[in-house]
Structure 1
Amino acid sequence: MSRRRETVPFTFVAEADRFRSNVTPPPRRRASVGQMAGRCLLGLTIVAALVGSLILGMPALSISHSPTQTQQASHGR
């Protein structure tokens, strides 16, 4: 039996990892001041929404063991 030359089943996959193009991509444009300000405001809005929902949701997540609520429920009938 002859041995196969390929180390992987598909040679083009292995060659794609080693391939380097001689064409350089164009340089990226810098974001304008308005775009940077918009990104900052969007980030701050998302963080503020998460913090606000956490603050508003904390009373609902806390477990209250006050005896007045259980006594009122049992004597209310």
Structure 2
Amino acid sequence: MFRRGEPVPFAFVAEAERFRSNVTPPPRRRASASELAGRAVLALVVVAGFTGSLLLALPALEVRLDAPHGQQQEAAEGR
């Protein structure tokens, strides 16, 4: 294989882990009142959706312990 004649310095790789920038990032922009209100409305819509779906699903999640009414009960009485 071809080999380079000059050595490649890798000291910069080790120094890169310790490098600290002297440039500070700009301060974070504060959310405006309308943005906060929008986030609150969105949170309320999500919570209302979960609540509504739970309320609509409750009848399907109920366990019936009594005997089912209908053809099966009538067939049992006819014997």
Q: TM-score, normalised by structure 2?
A: 0.65
Match of 2:37 in 1: 37
1:30-64 Cα distance to aligned partner (Å, 9 max, x none): 11100000000000110111011111101101111
Q: Aligned partner of 1:40: which letter? A: A
**Which of these residues, 59, 70, 73, is aligned with residue 72 of structure 1?**
70
Give, in whole Å, the separation in 2 of the partners of 1:55 and 1:44: 16
- In the alignment, structure 2 segments of 5+ residues that lack a partner are 1-11
Q: Which has the larger radius of gyration?
A: 2
Match of 1:23 in 2: 23
**How many residues matched?**
63
CA spacing shift, 1:20–1:63, aligned 2, 3 Å: same
Q: Which runs of 4+ in 1 moved over 3 A?
A: none
CA spacing shift, 1:61–1:24, aligned 2, 3 Å: same
RMSD: 2.4
Q: TM-score, normalised by structure 1?
A: 0.66
- In the alignment, structure 1 segments of 5+ residues that lack a partner are 1-10
